[in-house]
A = this chain, B = another copy of it.
Amino acid sequence: MARIVMKFGGTSVADLDRIRNVAARVKREVAFGNQVAVVVSAMSGVTNQLVKYCTDLSPLHDAREYDAVVATGEQVTAGLTAIALQDIGVDARSWQGWQLPVRTDTAHGKARIQAIEGGELIRRMDAGQVAVVTGFQGVADDNRVTTLGRGGSDTSAVALAAALKADRCDIYTDVDGVYTTDPRIVPRARKLAKIAYEEMLELASVGAKVLQTRSVELAMNERVRVRVLSSFTEAAPDEETGTLVVDEDEIVEKQNVAGVAYSRDEAKITVRRVPDRPGIAATIFGGLATQNVNVDMIVQNISADGTTDMTFTVGKADLPRARTALGELKSQIGYAELLEDPDVAKISVVGTGMRSHAGVASTMFQALADKAINIQVISTSEIKVSVLIAAEYTELAVRALHTAYGLDA
């Protein structure tokens, strides 16, 4: 017997038939002798409609009222899922965020979970009842409803799993696991049986959108074993199903590189001929931070003639604000010109194995050089090497790297 949390996203509860399908999956786990808590998102499309209502009424709407409106989507799904479970003979009840309660801070619209009371749920699960919990929401100290921000239901599920000391948190989604890379680009991409938290984090942050980044961080901190699997395959899950996101130590056969990810969401900015003196970088990036511009990769060339070129990437959506911020700094800094290039892609190879293996980066550079792909910027972390290239080479680069690291099936 195990205690598991099963989380179903919007497409998995999109209509009544899909909700019945969810109920059947839960019943199967109960029949295996497992204790089950279910976390559900809103039916797909519902949250967008509710957000649109708020935005259409007032672009600068009160985030507390927005939360009260938007949180209803999950409340509907939770109630309906409980009804569907009862209809097939499974004892179940729904729980809204304020009922458990799921306590959060008061950062409405993007609240963070502080604590979940798990005691009552554990008693009921011990007695055989399935708990159906609204994802994405909680209640703040002022007794008002909060939401966690988009994708927050994954975080709700992991936090609930931690509170219930669950053996596993199964995240049902529309893909059947985490792949070595995007199968739409590389048909020979392989599903990973296991992936380490750190690897999943790096993959999530570079565009492999299977799990919400915050949910992976939380799983890593709380040591919650997370499984990503599909709600669209009929077979009962077994040991082979989906991808298990676990502690590095649980992965016996480590690859140097677990996966290749890409992101086309960034734009490159070069500030030309910046005076090369102390404090200049602080001025530039301080100015960008003031405008809420998130900077990712940064590279600074060696100085020549007392000036240098500063190149970095920002989210494409932040480009106008970055331009404004740097324009305002021009007289203060005294740079020559500003170059922008939105047609770039960031390609990353990720793997905890590279901690103990040299040569991962040079394999990458060689593979790209073999395809005559020019590298514009390089950045590295302990378990990741990323390069910025022209966007048109994205697929070519991903395929070349997938082969170079021996990931092809």
Contacts and interface: CB of A to CB of B under 8 A. Distances in A.
Interface stretch (A4-12, A49-57, A332-340): A49-57
B72 A84 contact: no
Copies per complex? 2
Contacts of A321: none
B78 A68 contact: yes
Contacts of A276: none
Given A79-B65, A80-B69, A94-B65, A57 B20 contact: yes
Interface string A242-286: 000000000000000000000000000000000000000000000
Interface in A29-77: 50, 53-54, 56-58, 61-62, 64-66, 68-69, 71-72, 75-76
A205 interface: no
Contact of A76 (B50, B62, B143): B50
Interface string A353-373: 000000000000000000000
Interface in A134-162: 143-145
A79 B69 contact: yes
Contact of A83 (B20, B58, B72, B79): B58
Nearest to A68: B79
A288 to B, nearest CB: 32
B58 A84 contact: yes
A4 to B, nearest CB: 22
A70 to B, nearest CB: 8
Nearest to A98: B98
Contacts of A144: 99
A298 to B, nearest CB: 40
20 contacts: A16-B53, A16-B56, A50-B76, A57-B80, A57-B83, A58-B83, A58-B84, A61-B87, A62-B83, A62-B93, A65-B80, A65-B82, A65-B86, A66-B79, A66-B83, A68-B78, A68-B94, A69-B75, A71-B75, A75-B75
A66 B78 CA distance: 11
B83 A61 contact: yes
A21 interface: no
A97 to B, nearest CB: 11
A87 B19 contact: no
A131 to B, nearest CB: 13
Interface residues of A, number: 36
A96 interface: yes
Contacts of A84: 57-58
- Going nearest first, the 5 A-B pairs with the smallest beta carbon separation are A69-B79, A72-B72, A58-B87, A68-B79, A65-B79
A69 B58 CA distance: 26
Nearest to A88: B58
Contact of A58 (B58, B86, B99): B86
Nearest to A62: B86
A96 B64 CA distance: 13
